Copies of this chain bind each other. A is one copy, B any other.
Amino acid sequence: MTTTSPQGRTELLRPDGSPVRVLVVDDELSITELLSMALRYEGWQIRSAGDGHGAVQAAREFRPDAVVLDMMLPDMDGLSVLGRLRRDLPDVPVLFLTAKDAVEDRIAGLTAGGDDYVTKPFSLEEVVARLRGLIRRSGAADRRSDSVLVVGDLTLDEDSHEVTRGGDGIHLTATEFELLRFLMRNPRRVLSKAQILDRVWSYDFGGQANVVELYISYLRRKIDAGREPMIHTRRGAGYLIKPAA
C-alpha cells in the first residue's frame, strides 16, 4: 500500500498500515548511521546490527520486512548470515552491500531469488530505490503499487527506466535518472544542493559541488526544453520540481 503524506512524499506501508521494518547490518558504524538516517527519512522503522550474530538475533525479534546486509562482516561470512536469516524469515528480501572489486567474487546467485545488491560506495538514492523495489515485489507491501512516478505530465518508470514528458520519450543517463527520481519523489519541495549531493551521489564523492548545478542544467535541457518549466530554482535554497500548471 502507498499513501501520500502532506509533504507530497509517497510512503510504502505494510498491508496493515504499519510502517515497513528494515534491518541494517554493517560493521562500520558510519555506514549503519548513514543508512539508518536515510531509511528513517523514508518513514521506515530501522534496527541495526554490527555483526552476524547480532543480525540473526535482531532479525528474530524485530522481524523486518527487508534486510540490508554487508557481505564483509567480522564474525561470519555473508552467506552464513543469509542462511541463518532465512531460517527464521524465509521470505525476507535482502539487499547486499559489497565492495566494488569483490563483485566478481562470490556474488553468484545473489540476485537470483529476487534479492539484489549494491556496491560500495553507494548512493543513498540507489539503496533506497532498490529496497523499495525489493519490498514492493516481496509482497510485504501491496503488490498493486506500481513503479511509476508521476508529476504533472512527466512520468518516470523505475522498472523500465523510461521517462516521458507529455508522452514523448526522453533518454536520460544514469546520473540524470537518479537525480530526476529524487526530485520526483519529493515534488513541490525545495531540495538543497547539499541534500541532493548527499542523496544522489555516492557517499565518498569528493568533487566540486557544482555537479548538481550541472546536472540540473542537463535535466532542464531534456525535460523542460521549449516547454513550461517544471524544475525551478529557489535562489539560495535549492531546487524543486512541480507540475507545469
At the interface, is chain A mostly helix, strand, loop or mixed? loop
Contact B143 A124 (CB under 8 A): no
How far in angstroms is the closest Cβ of chain B from A16? 19
A63: Cβ under 8 A from any B Cβ: no
Q: A7-B159, A189-B160, A194-B117 are in contact. Are A33 and B86 (CB under 8 A)?
A: yes
Complex: A236 Cα to B177 Cα, angstroms? 11
A40: Cβ under 8 A from any B Cβ: yes
A198's contact among B6, B36, B110, B209, by CB below 8 Å, is which? Answer: B110
How many copies are assembled? 2
How far in angstroms is the closest Cβ of chain B from A6? 5
- Return chain B residues, CB-CB under 8 Å to A114: 37, 40-41
Q: A143-B5, A159-B188 are in contact. Are A111 and B174 (CB under 8 A)?
A: no
A113's contact among B37, B144, B188, B240, by CB below 8 Å, is which? Answer: B37
Contact A34 B109 (CB under 8 A): yes
How far in angstroms is the closest Cβ of chain B from A196? 9
Complex: A145 Cα to B5 Cα, angstroms? 11
Contact A161 B234 (CB under 8 A): yes
Within 8 A of B (CB), among A103-146: 103-104, 107-115, 117, 124, 137, 143-146
- Return chain B residues, CB-CB under 8 Å to A189: 159-160
- Return chain B residues, CB-CB under 8 Å to A181: none
A58: Cβ under 8 A from any B Cβ: no
- A residues within 8 Å of B by Cβ? 5-7, 29-30, 33-34, 36-38, 40-41, 46, 79, 82-83, 86, 90-91, 103-104, 107-115, 117, 124, 137, 143-147, 159-162, 173-174, 188-190, 192, 194-195, 197-199, 203-206, 209, 234-237, 240, 242
Some 11 contacts from A to B, beta carbons below 8 A apart, are A6-B147, A40-B91, A40-B113, A104-B209, A107-B194, A108-B204, A110-B198, A111-B195, A160-B190, A160-B242, A174-B237
